[in-house]
Amino acid sequence: MHDGSGRIVVQGLTKQFGPVTAVNNLSFTVEPGSVTGFLGPNGAGKTTTLRMLLGLVTPTAGGSTICGLPFAQLGNPGRVVGAVLEAQGFHPGRSARNHLRVYAAAMGVPDQRADEVLHLVGLGQAANRSAGAFSLGMKQRLALATALLGDPQVLVLDEPANGLDPEGIVWLRAFLQSFARSGRTVLISSHLLGEVEQMVDQVVIISRGQTAYYGPLETLRASQQSRVLVQPADPQALVAKLQESGIGSIEWTQDGRLAISGVDRKEVADLAMSSGIALYDIQQEVIDLEQLFFRLTSGQYSGAPVPSPTGYPPQPPGPSPWQPGNGWGGQG
C-alpha cells in the first residue's frame, strides 16, 4: 500500500527520445498541502516529466514516486492521483457523462460520482453532449472532471489553463488553492510564470530538461534584483571607481549606458560625484518576476551555455549576464 502522504518525489529523471534529451537528471519533491508550479518554456520537458511520473513514458534513467510508490504499484491509481494532461483524448462520439461513467467503472467509484464532478466543473448542462462537439475550454473542464472522479489526493495538471476563458482560470485558481489547503497535493505546469504566479507556493523551473531553480516562490521574489543605468561622461573612469569600491556587476547596455546591479541609485550618484565624473542620466530599473523567469530559462534558444543545475538549496539565477567580463570584452 502507498503511504497516503500525497508526496511526489522525482529523482534523477532522464528521458532520451533518440538524439533529443527531453529531460536530464531532474530531481524535485512536491509536498502535500501546497501548490507547486512546474515552469519552463515550450519544449523544456515539462510534459515528458509529468508523463514519466504517471507511468505513461518509460524513463531512460531515474525514477519517481507518488505517495512513496512508483505509479505502477499504486494499485488503483485513479483513487490516488488525478491528472489533466495535454492532448488527453475523448472519444468524439461519447457523451461527457458516459465518458466519466467508463472511468468511474474502471476505478470502482459509484456512477453518481460522474454527475457530481460534472457539476463541480460547471459542465452539468452539457452532460449528454458528445465530447467531440466541446470547445477547448470545455474539454479542459471535462479532463479536470475525469481527474477528480476518484477523489484523489494528488492532482497533476499539465498546462490546464490552455483554452480556459479568464473566468475559468480564476475558478481554477481558487479551486486548486482550496484543494491544496485541504492537505492535498497539486503539481501544475505552465510555460508562463504569470499564469500560475498567484496560486503557487513552490516553483520548479526547468530549462532544456534541467532544473534552473527549485524552491519557494518567495525566495525567488526576494532575489529580484534591480540595477542602475547610468550615462557617465567618462565611463572608463566610473567603471574603475566602481571596481575599486568592490561593486563587481557592471555591463554595457545596447544603447551604450552602464548597467550596475546590486546597488541603488544614490550610491552610484555619490560615487560619481566624489570622483568628479559627470552623469548625464541615471535611472533605477526593477526586474520583475517574469523577466527573471525569462533570464532563468533563456539559455534555451540563445545558444549560450546551459546553466548548470542549481538544485538545492535554491539560488538566485545562474551565471549572471551582468558579470564585468561579459559586457566589457568587446567594448573596452
Of 6-14, 43-51, 165-173, 246-254, the window that binds ligand ADP (rule: CB under 6 A) is 43-51
Using CB under 5 A, which residues numbered 44 to 83 contact Mg ion? 46-47
Using CB under 5 A, which residues numbered 31 to 50 contact Mg ion? 46-47
Cell of 218: 518567495
CA pseudo-torsion sign 73, 76, 78, 81: negative
Cell of 202: 513552490
Confirm or reject binding of residue 190 to ligand ADP (CB under 6 A): no
Q: How many whole angstroms separate alpha carbon 59 and alpha carbon 16?
A: 8
- If the CB atoms of residues 28 and 71 are measured against other proteins, the closer one turns out to be 71
State the amino acid at position 288 in one-letter form.
D
Strands (E), the chain: 8-17, 20-30, 35-39, 61-66, 81-84, 154-158, 185-190, 202-207, 210-216, 226-232, 250-252, 258-261, 279-286
- If the CB atoms of residues 7 and 46 are measured against Mg ion, the closer one turns out to be 46
Of 40-48, 65-73, 120-128, 234-242, the window that binds ligand ADP (rule: CB under 6 A) is 40-48
Specify the DSSP class assigned to residue 60.
S
- If the CB atoms of residues 301 and 312 are measured against ligand ADP, the closer one turns out to be 301
Find which of other proteins, Mg ion, ligand ADP, none residue 232 binds, CB within 5 to 8 Å per kind.
none
Confirm or reject binding of residue 22 to ligand ADP (CB under 6 A): yes
Q: How many whole angstroms separate alpha carbon 145 and alpha carbon 119?
A: 9
Q: How many whole angstroms separate alpha carbon 134 and alpha carbon 92?
A: 9
Contact residues for 168 (Cβ-Cβ < 8 A; gap 6+) = 137, 140, 141, 161
Least CB distance from residue 240 to Mg ion, whole Å?
48
Least CB distance from residue 261 to other proteins, whole Å?
41
Least CB distance from residue 191 to Mg ion, whole Å?
8
Cell of 133: 462537439
Confirm or reject binding of residue 42 to ligand ADP (CB under 6 A): yes
Least CB distance from residue 18 to ligand ADP, whole Å?
6
Find which of ligand ADP, Mg ion, other proteins, none residue 106 binds, CB within 5 to 8 Å per kind.
other proteins
Residues that bind Mg ion (CB under 5 A): 46-47
